[in-house]
Structures are given as C-alpha cells and as structure tokens.
Amino acid sequence: MSLEMLTHAADQGITDVVNTVHYQHPKVENEDISCERIQSEVEQLQQELDKNDIQIKLHCGAEVFFLPNLLQIKDDPLSTFTHGKYMLIEFQVHQLPNIQKQVLFDLKMAGVTPIIAHPERYKPIQDEINLVAEWLEAGCIIQVDAGSPLGLLGKGAKGASEKIIKNGWCQILGSDSHDNKRRNFCLMETVELIRSWGENRVDAMVRENPKAVIDGTPISVDFDYVQEDAPNFLTRIKDRIGLT
C-alpha cells in the first residue's frame, strides 16, 4: 500500500513526504511510537522506494495529540521533526481545551513553533473561524488538509478551509494521507482548485513552508486580521440542516 500511495504522490510532483505518525493519541497507546522504531521503519521504506525508483525522500515527524505535557515531550526528537523547532499538534474534533492557549504560548517561548493541524476539521473553528487568527497572532503556524477544500472531509471542513485559505491564514497545505482508498494523496487537485480562487500563495503552502519545517528554519507569517462576523445560533442551525 505504501509503495502504491507514494507512486501516486510522485506522479503528482511530490518530492518529499513526512511520516507524521500519531503521537500520544489514544489510538496508538499500545504501539511503540519511539523515535528509534519510527526511524527504522522509515529507513526500510526509503530503501524500497529507492529500489523501485520512486523519486520521493521520506522524513520523520509526528502529529502530536494535545495534552498539557507538550513542554515535557519537546525534547523527544520525534515530536519536533528531529530538530526541535516545530511541533505539529492536533486537538479533539469537538473541543478545544481552555489550557491550550497557555501551553502553546509556553511551547513558543521554549523555542518550538506550534503547527496547528487541520483546524478546519474542528467544530469550534467551524463555529468561530476567528480562533484561527488568534492562533496566528500567538505565533502558531496553520496547516490545512488537502482533502478539506475538495469536500472529502465533510461540508463543515470544506467551508472552514476555504475561509482560512482565502483569508490568507494557511501556511501549509498537507496531504494527510492515510490509505490508498479514501485518504490518498490529492495535493495536485487541491492546488489547482486553490489557484482557481486567485490565491497566489499556494506555492509557499506546498513548497517553501513545508521545506522550512523539514529544515527547521523560520516561516514568515504575514496576514491581515479582519474579524469575521460570527453566525448567530439560528444561522448555525440552518447551515447544519442544509436550509438557506
């Protein structure tokens, strides 16, 4: 499956893929998610890619499930892309804990830039999109899943991702591929869609900024924060049941 998926990725022009394994997530609590094990697995897969002439370079990383312990795990190289400069962080879909602002601030002050994974998929963000701008103002980086603008991850994620990208709040467009069926690489199709919106920052989202994360170099964030009017309760109910 990995070889099939990465062949599909290479056909889209993708040259580098970061294996962001789930980290301290309940779904992997019985798995060995150590840096040594993941590096070994990635090296074995890289050998298979080279043997099959699939022109992709693999890198180690993790998608860290938010817990209040982020400062305690930042010295594990797997949690920070092996160089200690960035941490990709995901939250529960239905809730953003109040403590997250302080923990992310402390992480930033410790020299690790938080990357917020797929905020468009979180219900609190779909209800209040301005929370994304607050993360940016706090020094975080925003990553949107490539499947979201295409509608592959639901109507709510599609609408929120379009707002985030059109507002100039997205720094990284990630493939977030999981399998060769429902969650395969779709980066090329999404890039074409975003270009059709007249968005000229998409190259930075898929080239310069992801490379900066891999290399551990700074990402320049330049955005305008014009607060959007939050929909009232009745509007949210109408949107949820598909009324206009």
Domains of the chain: 61-241 (3.20.20.140)
pLDDT tier, 179 (very low <50, low <70, confident <90, very high otherwise)? confident
**133 φψ region: left (φ > 0), alpha (ψ -120 to 50), beta (else):** alpha
Mean pLDDT computed over 204-223: 94
Lowest mean pLDDT among 112-121, 195-204, 234-243: 234-243
Distance of alpha carbon 69 from alpha carbon 23, whole angstroms: 12
* Tens-digit pLDDT profile for residues 121-146: 999 999 999 999 999 999 999 999 99
What pLDDT, on the 0 to 100 scale, is given for residue 222? 82
* Tens-digit pLDDT profile for residues 69-104: 999 999 999 999 999 999 999 999 999 999 999 999
3-class secondary-structure state, position 143: strand
Contact in structure between 74 and 109 (CB atoms under 8 Å): no
Among 58, 63, 55, which Cα is nearest to 86's?
63
Task: Compute how many other C-beta atoms are within 10 angstroms of the C-beta atom of residue 142.
Answer: 24
Contact in structure between 32 and 72 (CB atoms under 8 Å): no
User: How far is CA 197 from each of CA 15, 86, 149, 190, 202, rounded to the nearest angstrom?
Assistant: 25, 29, 11, 11, 10
| Residue 67 token pair | 């817990």
Q: How far is CA 16 from the centre of its chain?
A: 15
Mean of all residue pLDDT scores within the chain: 91
Distance of alpha carbon 126 from alpha carbon 163, whole angstroms: 10
Mean pLDDT computed over 204-214: 97
Among 118, 116, 129, 93, which Cα is nearest to 236's?
129
What pLDDT, on the 0 to 100 scale, is given for residue 85? 98
pLDDT tier, 230 (very low <50, low <70, confident <90, very high otherwise)? low
3-class secondary-structure state, position 144: strand
pLDDT of 204 above 80: yes
Contact in structure between 23 and 69 (CB atoms under 8 Å): no
Distance of alpha carbon 134 from alpha carbon 117, whole angstroms: 15
pLDDT of 226 above 80: no
pLDDT tier, 241 (very low <50, low <70, confident <90, very high otherwise)? very low
* Tens-digit pLDDT profile for residues 36-52: 999 999 999 999 999 99
Distance of alpha carbon 221 from alpha carbon 141, whole angstroms: 8
pLDDT of 119 above 50: yes
